[in-house]
């Protein structure tokens, strides 16, 4: 969808759940994290914001289940993105019709495969993923002309400041080094390029809190098995906001 950030923000205004910083929480597998003051909604209720009916949600969920299980199988890695966080990422990309995605933190490609599978039009999607080390690349990614893996040689946060991206990503999925300085530098770099920033494990440092205060992005937090996934969505069109 063109102007997806406008659609996103309109939807949130319409349903009146953007009054506070911490708002929508999805599918609580483990609600033991008491530090979060959150409003809880289920995945299907969250997706209704985008006009997704129960029937469409079921179809989306069924498709995602098969993507997720094949990804877990192909990646052969105990770690990687969790089930519900993957569902949010998958749904957001599919529903908003996003086609240019940058990901930091490849590991063994669980989230990369979910992102690729989420694209509606598989011919126009472009996914660039980066990592400082790579051990295995699942077959599907090795043979996809829409996927590019970059090995980067820098662990320093300055790296993001000088990053030159021809991709112009609509969505930046941040799942790499979640140390405070690194994550904040990456968030600031992502804000220059993208309308959506999705942060996995955003609870680990205060970087998202600082970024939420200084930036013009709306913040939406989701709880998933003792960790938080945060979506930042741009309030203003990119050309005005930068
Ligand atoms: C949580 S894992 C990523 C999981 C992956 N997104 C998935 O779902 O399979 C974090 C990854 O970030 C990588 N990493 C650490 N520092 C990084 C950096 N500066 N830039 C890019 N990746 C980095 C690590 O090597 C590790 O593979």
**Integer Cα distance of 72 and 64 in angstroms:** 12
Going along 100-204, which residue ranges are E strands?
100-104, 126-131, 147-151, 171-174, 196-199
pLDDT tens by residue, 196-237: 999 998 888 899 989 989 998 877 777 676 677 888 888 665
Cβ pair 60, 91 in contact under 8 A: yes
* CATH number listed for the domain at residues 25-234: 3.40.50.150
Rg (CA), the chain: 17
218 phi-psi bin (left φ>0, alpha ψ -120 to 50, beta other): beta
Is it the case that residue 97 has pLDDT exceeding 50?
Answer: yes
Give the position, in ligand 1's atom list, of the atom nearest the Cα of 108: 9
In 105-170, the DSSP E strands lie at: 126-131, 147-151
In the prediction, which pLDDT does 123 show? 82
Return the pLDDT at 72: 87
- What is the pLDDT averaged over residues 150-154? 80
Q: Which residues does a 6 A CB cutoff place in the pocket of ligand 1?
A: 80-81, 104-105, 107-111, 130-133, 152, 155, 175-177
131 Cβ neighbours under 8 A, 6+ residues apart: 104, 105, 106, 107, 149, 150, 151, 152, 176
Distance 184 CA to ligand 1 centre (A): 15
pLDDT for residue 116 is more than 50: yes
The pTM of the full predicted model, rounded to 2 decimals, is 0.83
From 70, 107, 130, the mutation candidate for ligand 1 (largest count of ligand atoms within 8 A of CB) is 107
Distance from Cα 108 to the centre of ligand 1, integer Å? 9
How many Å apart are CA 242 and CA 191, to the nearest integer? Answer: 8
Q: Which of 15-24, 34-43, 140-149 has the lowest mean pLDDT?
A: 15-24
What is the model's pLDDT at position 158? 61
In contact, 62 and 100? CB cutoff 8 Å: no
Within 8 A by CB and 6+ apart from 135, the residues are 108
Which of 76, 78, 81, 131, when mutated, tests ligand 1's pocket best, judged by the most ligand atoms within 8 Å of its CB?
A: 131
Which element (helix H / strand E) includes 219? Answer: strand 217-224
Strand partners, 234: 217
Q: Which of 183, 215, 217 is nearest to 200 (CA)?
A: 183
Confidence of residue 21 (pLDDT cuts 50, 70, 90): very low
**144: Cβ contacts below 8 Å, ≥ 6 apart:** 116
| pLDDT of the residue at 110 | 94
44 near 64, Cβ under 8 Å? Answer: no
Q: What is the CA(129)–ligand 1 centre distance, in A? A: 10
């Amino acid at each position: 969808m063109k102007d997806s950030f406008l659609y996103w923000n309109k939807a949130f205004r319409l349903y009146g759940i953007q009054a506070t910083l911490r708002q929508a929480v999805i599918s609580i597998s483990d609600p033991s994290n008491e530090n979060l003051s959150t409003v809880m909604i289920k995945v299907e209720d969250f997706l209704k914001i985008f006009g997704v009916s129960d029937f469409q949600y079921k179809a989306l969920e069924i498709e995602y289940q098969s993507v997720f299980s094949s990804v877990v199988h192909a990646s052969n890695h105990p770690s990687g993105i969790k089930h519900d966080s993957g569902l949010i990422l998958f749904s957001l990309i599919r529903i908003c019709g996003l086609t240019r995605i940058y990901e930091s933190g490849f590991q063994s490609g669980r989230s990369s495969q979910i992102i690729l599978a989420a694209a509606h039009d598989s011919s126009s999607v472009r996914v660039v993923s980066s990592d400082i080390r790579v051990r295995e690349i699942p077959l599907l990614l090795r043979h996809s002309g829409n996927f590019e893996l970059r090995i980067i040689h820098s662990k320093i946060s300055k790296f993001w400041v000088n990053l030159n991206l021809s991709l112009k990503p609509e969505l930046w999925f941040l799942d790499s080094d979640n140390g405070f300085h690194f994550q904040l530098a990456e968030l600031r770099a992502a804000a220059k390029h993208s309308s959506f920033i999705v942060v996995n494990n955003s609870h680990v440092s205060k970087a998202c809190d600082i970024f939420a205060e200084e930036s013009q992005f709306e913040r939406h937090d989701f709880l998933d098995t003792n960790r938080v996934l945060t979506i930042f969505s741009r309030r203003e069109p990119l050309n005005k906001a930068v």
